[in-house]
Amino acid sequence: MRFVIKLILTITLLFTSKFTYSDNIPAPSENAEIELLQVIDYMRNGQNEKALIVAAELSKNYPNEKALIVAAELSKNYPNFKLGKIIYADLLSSYLQKKPMFSSNSQDKELIDLKNEAKARINFNSIYKKKDLLPRSIIQLSKDTPYAFLIELSKSRLYLVKNKNGIPEVISDFYVSIGKEGFNKKTSGDNKTPVGVYNITSYLIDEDLPELYGEGAYPINYPNTWDKKNKNTGYGIWIHGVPRDVYSRPPLSSEGCVVTSNHTLRKLEKYIAIGKTPVILVEKVNWIKRNVWHQNKNIANEIIFEWKDTWESLDPHEFISQHSIDFSSDKHNFEERVAHILRIIKNKTYIKVKIENLNLFYYPQNQDLILSDFRQHYESNNFKTSLNKKLFWKKEKDGIWRILHEDT
């Protein structure tokens, strides 16, 4: 369906009030007829990206009758897609040399919402497809994490990221709606979508949900440990669908949830592992070259494995030096952590630490903050345990990365 919205680019927002017709329009070529049939075929088979590519070229070369035929077909095939109906109405108005709705100054809220949705879809530029770029936010995905969702809140876009031999490559993207007041959630009821790194915690089936949430919902663990440290409040942030009488919602329309079309939600289902799939919510994706990404990955791994080696060395002072004086956890502040380390290590003859399923992220809105999320296996002469651990590493003024926060 993204094709539908891209059609607006060539037909409404770019041409709008200047878009008129005459008897001098060249007759459509045989190639144009073939292209039109291709577009419709792609639409019917859900191959939206291919439909988009062909339709963009089609509407550029044959902006009149061809675009009108395509829009009519879309309006018929997707009767609950309001934006598609507006497109068709605008094309018909233009064909009759009347003023299109998208070029009007109407203050009708529904029309304004549709315009905003059109802009969000049209203005999106899939730069990652044109250049060999990777998202900076995702430093490393473990073998246990085959997919992740990266959501660019300022562009209403969800990127499906595949772990290709450890490299986070975007394989598809989808339009989404977010909180009606935008993003960077701080308080309960502020109608904003949070920024941070989360996990999908469960699946709520269609039958147990009000119609508002569409064909299902995937709650995420907001507020997470970093939110709680920063006293961010609220609850009930989900990725969910839409009521069946609509196809999609405007960019800013939820109470903080990430909302997709039901069609998109069904597509995403097979990539979700409950409790494991990361959801990274960022204001803007920072796309970086592969060589830079590899450098970041090496630095982050050096940080975490130096911490492991120092712990195993039984040198309490070196181990303490890897903690920020602003350190916090659910049990300790810095002074309490120092006392704990000194007390524990003096009774050890050896410590062995094994790290598994290591995921690494640059934490959103924090240029010099790395989240390491992993499974830790700990063994000493008098104690043995395994647990999930999150360490937040801050690059401090002296250039050294130290643990700012710990969650187990």
Cβ atoms of 344 and 360 within 8 Å: the answer is no
3-state secondary structure the chain: CHHHHHHHHHHHHCCHHHCCCCCCCCCCCHHHHHHHHHHHHHHHCCCHHHHHHHHHHHHHHCCCHHHHHHHHHHHHHCCCCHHHHHHHHHHHHHHCCCCCHHHCCCCCHHHHHHHHHHHHHHCCCCHHHHCCEEECCEEECCCCCCEEEEEEHHHCEEEEEEEECCEEEEEEEEECEEECCCECCCCCCCCCECCEEEEECCCEEHHHCCHHHCCEEEEECCCCHHHHHCCCCCCCCEEECCCCCCCCCCCEEECCCEECCHHHHHHHHCCCCCCCCEEEEECCCCEEEHHHHHHHHHHHHHHHHHHHHHHHCCCHHHHHCCEEEEEECCCCEHHHHHHHHHHHHCCCCCEEEEEEEEEEEECCCCCCEEEEEEEEEEEECCCEEEEEEEEEEEECCCCCEEEEEEEC
Identify the CATH number of the domain defined by range 288-407: 3.10.450.50
pLDDT block averages, 10 residues each, the chain of length 408: 41 34 37 57 59 56 55 61 57 51 65 78 80 95 97 97 95 95 98 98 95 96 97 97 90 97 94 97 97 97 98 98 97 97 96 98 94 98 97 97 97
Structural domain boundaries of the chain?
Answer: 2-122, 127-285, 288-407
Residue 400 CA to residue 310 CA, distance in Å, equals 15
Amino acid at 319: F
Would 127-285 and 288-407 be classified into the same CATH topology? no
Closest of 197, 209, 62 to residue 141, by C-alpha = 197
Q: What is the pLDDT of residue 1?
A: 44
Residue 15 has phi, psi (to 5 degrees) of -105, -40
Q: What is the pLDDT of residue 235?
A: 96
CATH topology of domain 127-285: L,D-transpeptidase catalytic domain-like (2.40.440)
